[in-house]
Amino acid sequence: MTKTNRPRSHRYLKIIFFTISLSVFLFPESFAQDRKIQVDQLIQQLQDKDRRARLAAINELVKLAENANSAIPSLILLLKDPDALIRSGAAYAIGKIGGDIVPALPILVELLSDQNEAVRRDAAGTLGKMGVGAKAAVPQLTNLLSDKSTAVRRSSAEALGKIGVEAKPAIPALIRSLKDQEFVVRMTAAYALDMIGLENEEAVSIWAELLKDQSEHVRSFAAEALSKIGSGAVKAIPAMIDSLKDQDWSVRARSAKGLGKMGAEARTAVPALIELLSDQDRIVRANAATALGEMGDAGKTALPALNRLLEDREQIVRLAATGSIDKLGSIGVKTK
């Protein structure tokens, strides 16, 4: 047998990596000092007259992330740079580095009205990183939900979601965004509404309607949201039963899980859940089996089918079936 020799360069790289790692471990103060010098040099470079040099410095600071906190004041100054690419880069870098970025708030809010869409997008994104600290930006972010740019609309919706309950004034606009032509905006608007919090009845109505969305991602999110509401989502039972036939496995799985959480109130779902016990996806079969165990007396009609699942090739399905058979009180029912 011929022995394959690895290239010397490969061995040298391993030695260099080990040496650097050992240096960081043995001399952390020296490494930190070198990093500080690097950041200081980049801060100086942010003032360079050459835009390419300023952009290069911004990119390097982004790579350093939280290690570049001292650069925040200089980056804030660049938010007013005449070059749009510099403004957007600075806004993005501030959000990426994090730390005490509240001083950037007023200028970032101003940038939400910038003529350049990349600037508006990155300003909104960084405001989202501030969470509730950016509540003063809610009116401007709400206006951007109708921006011509898909990226800006998505970034603004995400920021409103991260602001949380303080963004409640944006709820009507976010609900309108659920009809956006771009699924990524609809998905982000749904996420934002979930984060902000809706009144239970309103939430059930909205999520049930989204089960019909064109995007499987949106439908799956809606099914999961209804599952979290549980017994409070009984008005959505008909829509959730319909979703058990969805083409996307995650929608079927999450709808089954949600119906199970409603217990006997969702007993009309039993026939459809029994059909799912032969689904091709193991998670769908397992969730359907678990849900049937929560249906009380109505679930007993599923016992023969559940018993057949004791021989399923997937352990997760067998365990779910066993649990439900146990709950329904008749593990010895014979199968046909």
- Whether residue 223 contacts residue 240, with contact meaning beta carbons closer than 8 Å, is answered with yes
Q: What's the CA angle centered on 140, arms 139 and 144, to 5 degrees?
A: 115
pLDDT of res. 35:
75
pLDDT of res. 274:
97
- Whether residue 277 contacts residue 305, with contact meaning beta carbons closer than 8 Å, is answered with yes
pLDDT of res. 11:
53
Per residue in 89-114, is it b (16+ CB within 10 Å) or e — as a string? Answer: bbbbbbbbbeeebeebbebbbebbeb
Comparing 1-5, 41-45, 52-56, the range with the smallest average pLDDT is 1-5
pLDDT of res. 32:
58
pLDDT of res. 99:
85
pLDDT in tens, 150-168: 999 999 999 999 999 999 9
Comparing 1-5, 35-39, 51-55, 89-93, the range with the smallest average pLDDT is 1-5
pLDDT in tens, 103-155: 999 999 999 999 999 999 999 999 999 999 999 999 999 999 999 999 999 99
Q: What's the CA angle centered on 144, arms 140 and 147, to 5 degrees?
A: 150
pLDDT in tens, 8-38: 545 544 444 444 444 445 445 554 566 778 8
Does this model's pTM top 0.85? My answer is no
Q: What is the spatial distance between Cα 110 and Cα 123, in angstroms, rounded to a whole number?
A: 9
Q: Is the dihedral of CA 302, 304, 307, 308 positive or negative?
A: negative
pLDDT of res. 213:
95
Q: Is the dihedral of CA 265, 269, 274, 276 positive or negative?
A: negative
Distances (CA, A) of 64 to 59, 67, 77, 97, 313: 9, 5, 19, 8, 48
What's the mean pLDDT when you consider all of the chain?
Answer: 89
pLDDT in tens, 173-186: 999 999 999 999 99
pLDDT of res. 19:
47
pLDDT of res. 285:
97
The most confident of the ranges 82-86, 95-99, 199-203 is 82-86
Domains of the chain listed by start with CATH number: 23-100 (1.25.10.10)
- Whether residue 293 contacts residue 279, with contact meaning beta carbons closer than 8 Å, is answered with no
